[in-house]
Amino acid sequence: MAVTLIYRLVSLKLDVLEKNKFTMSQEVIDKANKWLQSPIDQETKDEIAQLLSADDDTDLIDSFYKDLEFGTGGLRGMMGVGSNRINKYTIGMATQGLSNYLKANFAGDDIKVAIAHDSRNNSNFFAEVTAAVFSANGFKVFLFEELRPTPELSFAIRHLGCHSGVVVTASHNPKEYNGYKAYWNDGAQIIAPHDKNIVNEVGKIKGIEDVKFEANKDLIENIGKDVDEAYLSCIEKLSLSPDAIASQKDLKIVFSPIHGTGITLVPSILERLGFTNVHIVKEQSTPDGNFPTVVYPNPEEKEAMSIALNMASSMDADLVMATDPDADRVGIGVKNDKGEFQLLNGNQTGALLVYYLLEKWKANGKLTGKEYVVKTIVTTDLIEAIARAYHVNCYETLTGFKFIAALIKDLEGKEKFIGGGEESYGYLIGDDVRDKDAIASCAMIAEMTAFAKNEGVSLYELLLDIYTKYGLYKEDLVSITKKGKSGAEEISQMMVDLRANPPSELGGSEVIRLIDYQSGEEVDLQSKEKKSVNFPKSNVLQFITADGSKVSARPSGTEPKIKFYFGTRANLSDRSDFEKEWEGLDKKIAQIIKDLNL
């Protein structure tokens, strides 16, 4: 379509708006017009013209009313044309801003970057665009030739000596979304001060014409099998119970990649470890960005794992595992004491992993007093209780795996990282990767199941034994969304009110401590004594009661949403008392929620 015709369509659109007595923001029209005049491809111009000529203005406004924000973790949004969508040009502008920052930070170096992508629609194309821009800026680019898990990208950055890296993924978002996560030279997602500095640098890109899109193909090298081999070899070395695997090699395992990248490496690592009875969920085995068998490709959702659970039940399997599209998180299902399959939550799986790691490190004579595990401030305190029993340090970080990675980097050469994770189904074993790793986690979960079976218990029974030994911990989450500007203001006021008037009692127990991660203070509400909290500033509040219950309030930094995390505990003297005690903790959490008027 010729530019003159496009301008006529703009005029036509304005006429329609005037006739309908509807005033669209001039900024939207101006931004769409600016894109039309920029050096974009004809197909994109045609799509913008269609938006401008449509009777319904919704899509045009959504596509151009703002610029897609490059946040501290990168980009994430719906795919489509326009400044507020994931497309070739917004990806290009983000990459150009990152390139400019890398040049400023590594002046004089021959800069190297690694790029991977998941199974989402257009992910391969966006990865190629990213490679083109990096190479046009003179960088050596290592581009995975096919889809690969996010943790392998983290591994590749360190393995290949890269200065940065990018993975094209929107994790477990619906099929309409895609995204772009940026990594630093330690293989971890970017943190301060680089995060905000990169955001500022991306903000300096004023238009598409500022982006170098012409690839230097001589600087782009395809990678794949060699990095796979190095990565899988590192995971193999993490194994702690080869004898248990040999004894239980026919353990029945059902695995689903939920149409994502897990299919590339999970079956391979299980085979390399010695498991011979692994069954892949056929309906979800093919990478497909449309995720045809699920509503959300999220292993936290029972619906996403229903096919795998039905398959496991029909064959009386020992373990069910499913990874999200970029294979950095894993959900599992186990048989309970009634022989029925049930899903474990992220806290339960994390506690099992930490227990198994510490038990085997101790049995193998590997604990020297300089080892540690890590969890986030909203992850179960059961992990800390287990670590304390093994005389192993348990460190806490803010929510987000980038903070766990930063701690690992700070403690390099001083203490040895064993493992850790967060309640949202992300775990890390060993420090070859610096992000949550579902490939290594699947390997260790399968080995842990073999270990338990070798000891004469199921994974579910092992969890109950952990509860009887270290305490029964139960967690829950309430997420509240308040839409629009007024919603964001309401959430902000909720935090103001909680700080000004903290609850005196929750769930029938007195609130004795308040931790404010924004002010960096912990207050004893009885003595009024204060002490500093050594964490980065974050808008999070925690209330701790006399009976050990904990409530954390944490607003989202990117959307009008606030999450309340609840943690409670009780003693469990015998497995047979589990259901009764569990129900009691359920009631306590329900009372806490009522006390907070949620």
pLDDT tens, residue by residue, 120-150: 999 999 999 999 999 999 999 999 999 999 9
Instruction: Please check the confidence at residue 18 and state whether its pLDDT lies above 70.
Output: no
* Per-residue pLDDT, 5: 42
Query: Cα torsion for 379, 348, 191, 105, to the nearest 10°?
Result: 160
Does residue 413 sit in the same domain as residue 450? Answer: yes
Q: How confident is the model at residue 3 (pLDDT cuts 50, 70, 90)?
A: very low
Please state, for a pLDDT cut of 90, what percent of the chain lies above it.
85
Length reported for the chain:
598
Contacts by 492-500 with C-beta closer than 8 Å and gap 24+? Answer: 492/555, 494/553, 494/555, 494/562, 495/539, 495/541, 495/553, 495/555, 495/562, 498/541, 498/553, 499/541
Residue 74 has pLDDT above 90, yes or no: no
Q: Tell whether 483 and 584 lie within a shared domain.
A: yes
Q: Determine, yes or no, domain membership for 304.
A: yes
Residues 78 and 194 in one domain: yes
Where residue 172 falls among pLDDT bands split at 50, 70, 90?
confident
Q: Are residues 491 and 591 in the same domain?
A: yes
| Mean pLDDT, residues 222-238 taken together | 98
pLDDT band at 22 (very low <50, low <70, confident <90, very high): very low
Instruction: Let me know whether 427 and 383 are in one domain.
Output: yes
Q: Which of 183, 204, 223 is the last residue before a domain boundary?
A: 223
212 and 255 assigned to the same domain: no
End-of-domain residue from the set 342, 366, 387: 342
Q: Residue 556 has what pLDDT? A: 79
Q: pLDDT tens digit string along 437-491?
A: 999 999 999 999 999 999 999 999 999 999 999 999 999 999 998 876 678 889 9
Residues 180-217 pLDDT 10s: 999 999 999 998 899 889 989 998 998 899 999 999 99
242 and 362 belong to one structural domain: no
Mean pLDDT confidence for 414-442: 97
d(Cα 512, Cα 522) in Å, to the nearest integer? 11
Which of 469, 500, 526 is where one domain is finished? 469
Domain membership of residue 69 (yes or no) is no
Listed residue (565, 561, 520) closest to 543, CA to CA: 565
Active site residues: 171
Cβ atoms of residues 305 and 320 within 8 Å: yes
Nearest residue to 91 via CA among 132, 144, 43, 148:
132
Indicate whether 330 and 361 sit together in one domain.
Answer: no
Q: State the pLDDT at residue 17.
A: 39
What average pLDDT does this structure show over 168-179? Answer: 93
534 domain-assigned: yes
- In a domain, residue 240? The reply is yes
Better-predicted residue by pLDDT, 483 or 343: 343
Helix 459-470 vs helix 382-389: crossing angle, to nearest 10: 80
Residue 293 confidence (pLDDT): 97
Q: What is the pLDDT of residue 26?
A: 77
CATH of the domain at 365: 3.40.120.10
Residue type, 83: S
Residue 526 belongs to a domain with what CATH number?
3.30.310
Q: State the CB neighbour count (10 A cutoff) for residue 294.
A: 23
Same domain assignment for residues 193 and 141? yes
Question: Per residue in 518-576, pLDDT tens?
Answer: 999 999 988 999 999 999 999 999 999 999 999 999 997 656 789 999 999 999 999 99
Average pLDDT over residues 101-121: 97
* Statement to judge: residues 33 and 134 lie in one domain: no
Is 173 part of any domain? Answer: yes
User: What is the pLDDT at residue 72?
Assistant: 74
d(CA 584, CA 586): 5
Q: What does the pLDDT read at residue 557?
A: 65
On whether both 189 and 302 belong to a single domain, the answer is no
What global pTM score does this model have? 0.93
CA geometry: angle 351, 353, 355, nearest 5 deg: 70
Residue 226 has pLDDT above 60, yes or no: yes
> Is 425 domain-assigned?
yes
Q: Tell whether the model's pLDDT for residue 383 goes beyond 70.
A: yes
Domain that holds residue 239: 231-342
Average pLDDT of span 240-269: 98
Mean pLDDT of 319-331: 98
In a domain, 33, yes or no: yes
Chain mean pLDDT for the chain: 93
pLDDT of residue 559: 65
Number of domains in the chain: 5
Residues 387 and 505 in one domain: no
CA distance 63 to 79: 10
What pLDDT is attached to residue 46? 93
- Angle in degrees, 0-180, between the axes of helices 262-273 and 438-454, rounded to the nearest 10: 30
Alpha carbons 8 and 148: distance in angstroms, whole number:
45
- Say if 393 falls within a structural domain: yes
